[in-house]
Every structure is written in structure tokens, then in C-alpha cells.
Structure 1
């Protein structure tokens, strides 16, 4: 039976661990993260799946220490797998795997290498993304590609909704690729990073709305960071408002009132977010201080008579 040490977190980590087990891979150890009190935990628990299947789990702050490397090396795994683990792995760790080290990445590499690829893809208005299984190298998301599965990004999909599709795509990608990986005859495709893109992490402050942008750009920002992510926000008179749900305006059913200023306005119980191109998003739910505003509160803050 082939053996593996797995670095995993998030829903992709859960589904991928289960896929390894279903394909007959013995998972000797899972290296994961402790959940952060500062993060909304909306995804599945790797800790729970390890407890369910009696798999040892550790959560070091740094996986690249001498002690952790020695612990992994002592297990003599055939493979290393990384499934949405948040730390880079050193060459010393990668070299432990006798038969290869592989990572699942949430984009169609070489596009959107780096951090939070789903959010970046939605922000940039992509109509497609996917999951890629590739060899791990010291350079992030740069190793040879073994398999990819694409998923559509529909015009109104949020990053949360796309991530649900990617979780399934990741499971499918790994399931299809594992037999050849275990047999040692997996085909590999060059990952030409010069033809792709790299993006760093995002902070909550990156959700600040610039109403001078086009309506499509503002809408894409909303979709990219909509709850359960921190959300696209705007500050008005020292108060912060987070868009919970919105749509691009449908001008066949709703008319944009004339002479509205940039930003949020409420006219006849309809909440508009007016943008720099003269178009608008229709805001369907708006949060303030952790609560969704009712119509009375919306009118109080934003009414335009």
C-alpha cells in the first residue's frame, strides 16, 4: 500500500484526504492549521476528518523546522500531498517523498499562481477557473502539471459559490490522476509560468469600494469578497457599510434615477450603488455593525427624495 504525509486545510483538504483513502493510499500523518479566532470558519474541518479516520495530526506554526522535518522523514512516505495548506514547504521536506510531492491549486495554472486564486479570478471577471494538480517545487505553483479540471464562473457567482465548485473539481482531479501517480507513469505537462500570472494574498482593507470605478468592476469586487469573506465595503460619515448581496442593474426592469451622486442612494425603496461610468449596482442587502439593514434603516442613512 502506498503511503503519504499530507499537508491539508479547508474543504479541499477534507475531500482530498478522503479521496486518497478511497484510492488505497495510507495517510500516515496530516500537517494542518489550527482554526483562527479571527477568521470566519465556513469550510469543512480537517481536524474532524482526521479524528474520524484515526489519522495523526499536527499543527506546527512552522512546518520547516528540524524537528518537523525529522518527524516526517521517520515515516518514510512514498508521497507528499498539499491540499490548501497555507505555508510554503522547504526543499528538505519536498525531498523526503520517495515517489513525488504534489499540490492541488485552485486555478487553471499557470494562470493565478499564488494566494487566494478563486477571489482573484472572480475579481478580474474570469468566466472559467479550475483545479490543477501539479508537482511541488520551491517556486510556488510552478511544477509540472499532472491534471486539471475546469469549472465555469457564472456572471453572478460569488467567490464562495465558485469555491464550492472547485472543491468538487479538486476531488475529481485527484481521483482521476491518482492511479497513474501510484503506478509511476503519470503524464506531465510543462507549467510555463511565463504565460501565466501571480497574485499575493488579500486583506480585508482590499474590499474598500472605489465608486469611481465602473459598475462591472464594483460588482466584481463584491462577488470576489462577498460573505462569508469580509465583504466589499464603503464608509459614509464615519460609518462602515458592507454589501451583503447585490446585482448589476437590469435596466429593462429598473430605471436609474437621474442625478444621483456616486455611492449609495435609496430611492422609492430601491437601493442603488452608483458608479463612475454612470451605471449602478442594485444593492439587495447591506450590513451595518454586523446586522442587515431593514428598509427603515436604509432610508435613514441613504434616502434621496
Structure 2
């Protein structure tokens, strides 16, 4: 069998692990299509650009990959497969039709659940106890093609989205590794992706991290976990200042041990910081930021003196 070739659309840590997996299984990567890093974004993940440089793989970063000119570039490469590993742009029907033996995408959920953008953050926000990585055939409709393989990972009660993403990076590598032999020989297993049993979510904006203290404590805690640093963080404004919850835990001790007259929002009780929520329960705030600085307990007291 001749050496299989691919064009890879990739970014982020999953992009790096996906490219490494293809190389390890002998795939000839003709081109990597990626993104330039955004200077306004916290870059906490692995670099596809550095990996391509290390292995001498050509890399391009078109703002829009769906132009007729770029489609013709891809056609000229004549690759057997296209793979998409956390690439952020949708690919057109024209691009997908160029892949001679199929186009495949890694998605960070147990499809058909959490189709669409930032699936890890949405799963944590909704209090899910598991999620996973899915390799599926690409179609013009996002995350809708037949499922090739998937692996579940647990979401533990105090896991942040960042911690879950670490698990998913490993799961994505495992899913791809298991499925690649079948894909490369033209005999992958396919399971229908029943969208009627799933869900679709769009992207999230930093403003979506604003805390509403009138919500139940569990909802506020899940919001914190879903967007905790290195994501932008769950935040609230007080006295003209913005505060971001860096680290917190759901306050599991009997809430009656807290004074009953505490208002919703931040209170300091015996040198411990609590966020009092709409159901009378609380989250315990272990680290609070203001102006990119973690505040001392004395500073917190000065801001929130009752």
C-alpha cells in the first residue's frame, strides 16, 4: 500500500497531538492549515506552528480557507485525506469534496451532544458528569457526520474546563490512534450521528462570564468552573471595580453556620471569603483577582467591608 497523504487543518493542543499521531502512523502530511496566534488571547496551549517548524511541514494561515483560489491549491496537492483538529473555521462543501478518501474531524464532546463551539466549557457549565472526544466524518453541517470513534472522560465535581480539556486532549489522541488503521485502509466503522438526540451551542463571549448572585450556588459554581483561568474567568463588578474569581469551591459545610443576614454577593466571615447566592447557599472563594492581581484577605476586606 502506498503511503497515505493528508492535509491537516489544525490548531491548539489537540492539533499538535493529532499531527503527531498521523506522523507516528506514517501519514505523509503535505500541508497544515492553521491560525496565527491572537495577541489578545491567552496562549496556554501547545503550538502547531512550532511542531510544523520542527518537522519541516509547510504551514499556511489563510483568514478564509474557502476561497476558490485556496480550494484549487488544495486540489493540486491531491491528498488522500483531510483532517481537522480544533481548526476554528468551517470548511465549505467545495473543500470537503477535494479529499479523495474522506475528511475527518476531532470534536470535544460525546456527539451528538454539544455540537458546535467550545463544547468543553458548555458541558462544565451545565454540570455534566462526563464528556468525551469524538472522531467523525466531516459534513457542511457542523459536527453532523457519521461517528467513527469516541471515548468518554469523567468531569469530576470540582474540575474546571481547563482540567477537563487536558483529559480530552489525551482522549482525542486515543480516539484518533484507534481509528486511524481503519481509515487508512478504507474500512472505518461508521455509526449514524443522530442529531435528534443531541444539542448545538454557539460560541461564548467574555461577558457571558458575568455572575448573577441571585442564581443558585450550584449554577454560580458551574459558571466559575466553566470559565476559570486561563479562560477569561467568572466575574462581577463592585464599587466600580471588576473582580474575577480565580479559584473557588462549593461551600458544602452546613450553610446555617454562616450568618443568616448576609446579602447576596461577597462577604468575609472569620477571614474566609464567601459568595452568597440566591438560594441562600454559598461558594467559598479561595482566590479573587482585581486588575490581574490576586488579592490578599486584607485587600478583600477593604473592598467588601460591611
Normalising by structure 1, report the TM-score.
0.98
- 1:301 — aligned with what? 303
Q: Once the 2 structures are TM-superposed, how far is the Cα of residue 257 of structure 1 from its aligned partner? A: 2.2
1:275 counterpart = 2:282: no
- 1:37 — aligned with what? 39
Normalising by structure 2, report the TM-score.
0.98
- Cα deviations across residues 174-220 of structure 1 (Å, max 9, x unaligned)? 00000000111111000011110000000000000011110000000
- CA distance in 2 between counterparts of 1:128 and 1:225 reads 17
Q: Once the 2 structures are TM-superposed, how far is the Cα of residue 77 of structure 1 from its aligned partner? A: 0.4
- CA distance in 2 between counterparts of 1:85 and 1:287 reads 31
1:131 counterpart = 2:143: no
Stretches of structure 1 that go unaligned for 5 or more consecutive residues are none
- CA distance in 2 between counterparts of 1:90 and 1:159 reads 30
- 1:61 — aligned with what? 63
Matches within 5 A, 1:134-213: 134-213=136-215
- Cα deviations across residues 213-244 of structure 1 (Å, max 9, x unaligned)? 10000000000000000000000111100000
Match among 245, 248, 254 for residue 247 of structure 2:
245
Contact 1:107 1:117 in 2 (8 A): yes
* Structure 1 residues 295 and 254, CA gap change in structure 2 (3 angstroms): farther
Q: Once the 2 structures are TM-superposed, how far is the Cα of residue 253 of structure 1 from its aligned partner? A: 10
- CA distance in 2 between counterparts of 1:57 and 1:180 reads 27
Contact 2:33 2:60 in 1 (8 A): yes
Stretches of structure 2 that go unaligned for 5 or more consecutive residues are none
Q: Once the 2 structures are TM-superposed, how far is the Cα of residue 252 of structure 1 from its aligned partner? A: 5.4
Match among 82, 86, 92 for residue 84 of structure 2:
82
Q: CA-atom RMSD, angstroms?
A: 1.0
Matches within 5 A, 1:253-264: 255-264=257-266
- 2:17 — aligned with what? 15
Q: Once the 2 structures are TM-superposed, how far is the Cα of residue 96 of structure 1 from its aligned partner? A: 0.6
Where has structure 1 moved over 4 Å in runs of 4 or more?
none
- 1:100 — aligned with what? 102
Q: How many residues were matched structurally? A: 304
Q: Secondary structure at the match of 1:16?
A: helix
